[in-house]
Structure 1
Amino acid sequence: MRTNGKAIIETENLPIKLWLSEEKMDKGALEQARNLANLPFAFKHIAIMPDTHQGYGMPIGAVLATKGVIIPNAVGVDIGCGMCSLKTSLTEINTHDLKEIIQIIRKTVPVGFNRHNEPQDESWMPKRTGRLPIVDQEFDNALYQIGTLGSGNHFIEIQQGSDGYIWIMVHSGSRNIGFTVANHYNEVAKKLNLAAGADISTDLAYLPESSEYFDLYQNEMNYCLDFALANRQLMMERIKHAFTKVLPEVEFSNFINKPHNFAAEEKHFGETVIVHRKGATRARKGEWGMIPGSQGTHSFLVTGKGEPQSFQSCAHGAGRIMSRAQARKQLDIQTEVKALKAQGIIHAIRSRKDLDEAPSSYKDINEVMSNQADLVNIEVELQPLAVVKG
């Protein structure tokens, strides 16, 4: 069925509203969406964004509202993963300066599984309030990880904006502290559900609000959200230092931050619910956000339209069209590198293992943006110039 141009699946307990055609969803993601729609505590409908693909328990690019429970796996293991952008005063930058800036960034921002050799200044860490048992356990280790990029699809990108200015975009998350919090509370949820006789076969174990762990998880999740922001802010400071070392007159403005893995208490359709966004960005009316493509395609700065049917949400990126293993096996490295060089992009594909982040492993970002024209307004289009990946 289609309503207002959107596909709606009505075979489950709740409708599933798709911002793409059902045929464009991979089988695993569709099955996971059906599982969400049959949860007894799910609210109103399930919203599936145009960048969706299979995740763990819940599709990446999905929005789930619940009543009375919170689901750790509906937030994911990288709590607070998101992006930030910063505008520079530059209107152009030459290749020589770009390469120098990238070299400095690589020396000051650890990537992949690397971390700092020394603990960073504790003032960068968010303040701890209330009970935070896992955060307290991981705090000292996190001092070595704050200001680090991580791996996978995390990136630092220097971009040319359609507004005439050079922009910086960073995509990263809460590193090991978020991973540990997520796994701990998912295991707690599984034990609680099994004791209550609930089915946890869908990897969507939940914490009921009657449990002390409901509030504990929220406290620790919110700390991880703050840590992920602080992580991006420290990286951005190091990136700014790299720019000013090469181009001393540069100035910076218009900092934007948006997480896309989190749960929050919000009011929708007249009721207070817990909205889980996993690989989805909040897009309230007039709210700024970022939707990146890949290292070979455009990204976008957007403002939300506050669409109620998406729970005021939009896509968080292009979304994968093939798994990481598929990309490494099927894509041709010469073809991918040639396409990036043709655009003059200082890219991050060095060997076959990097093909999981090649542009061809992602969906067409222009199609993704077209499918969510009712969710966001495009404010600035960004062309990649140079990329650092984990």
Structure 2
Amino acid sequence: MADILVVDDVAENLHMLQLILRQQGHTVLAAINAEIALSIIQRKPPELVITDIKMPGTSGIELCKLLKAEKHTSHIPVIFVSAHSDTDWIVEALHAGGNDYITKPFIPAEILARVDTQIKLLDAQKSAVKQQLSQVMNEMVIGVAHEINTPLGTAITAVSHCGDTVNKLVAALEAGRADTAMFTDKLRECDTSLALSQRNLNRVAKFVSMVKQIARVECPVSPTRVSLLEFAEKVQCAWSDKPVELHLVVPKDLVAVFDGGLLASVLDTLIANSLAHGRQQGTLQVTITLDIEEGKLSVRYQDNGLGLDGISEEDMLKPFVTTKRGNTGHVGLSASVAANLIVNALEGNYCVQNNEDGLLWQITLPVEPV
């Protein structure tokens, strides 16, 4: 059974559709015009909308276009109600994004059949999404196991070797066979083993931190009033002791409402990625430009590195795809984490370009009015 919103300016039509649908067990809400319908949808989006094509004020076609234009309502199927003679209107309605139509006078069996078809399509889509999510999770688990097991195994082996070396040194001391040269050699072996263990454990720590960043996508967003100048200063301060020159271009006195913590995470991830991948001779240089354009926050990130360095933009955004392997500590999640934070957590969009100056990210985020 589904939650269905019926929209019609004729009370008799509303009553009839409600009666037919409720007898089938559906939960039905009613609206006498598009404005009321939009208010209901904003509070709680239904699973299906049935709307008359012709209505005073905002028509059913215009209502459909509004729903399809918004990310959180574009998935809702729309069934139009029309007269037999409204052929041209029906064609326009389907072009506007409508999924089906029913004609007046109402035939209950036809209405229920068309509604049932849309519900089955919705169920199929949900099933497909679940299967896709399951596949992604399986791939993620395999990737996590591989990326953690390899450095952990190396670290354990290095620590074990260090323990064996210490035991041999103790045995030599107890037997009176230890001298300065042996002490020096064994301690150097221990130092090498511990350094190898530390490098690999640091790699594991970085990976765990990156996985935590992925989890932040599902956390509630906390928008606050943010001064872009103060935000830029905090980002610059966070990287002041690292081998990167940050140039932040921010107009004075600009304030916006958004989740500054999440955006800072995005920028931190991009900077770390540039250090791992794009750095050439000398110090990495990154220019970040912040501005408000047409009511949206515009973020331009440009580094002077090697760009994509042999991989495509599509591959760069895939988890576990990286040009850096071995002991670099880079596991190929940075770009995909940044992209997910931008799109899913901050509800923005981005474009990545590989140009002669390095890698360019152009990010646009919705912001609330101050």
TM-score, length-scaled by structure 1: 0.21
Structure exhibiting the larger radius of gyration computed from Cα positions: 2
Bigger relative CO (Cα 8 Å, ≥ 6 apart): 1
Higher strand share: 1
Structure with a larger share of its residues in helix: 2
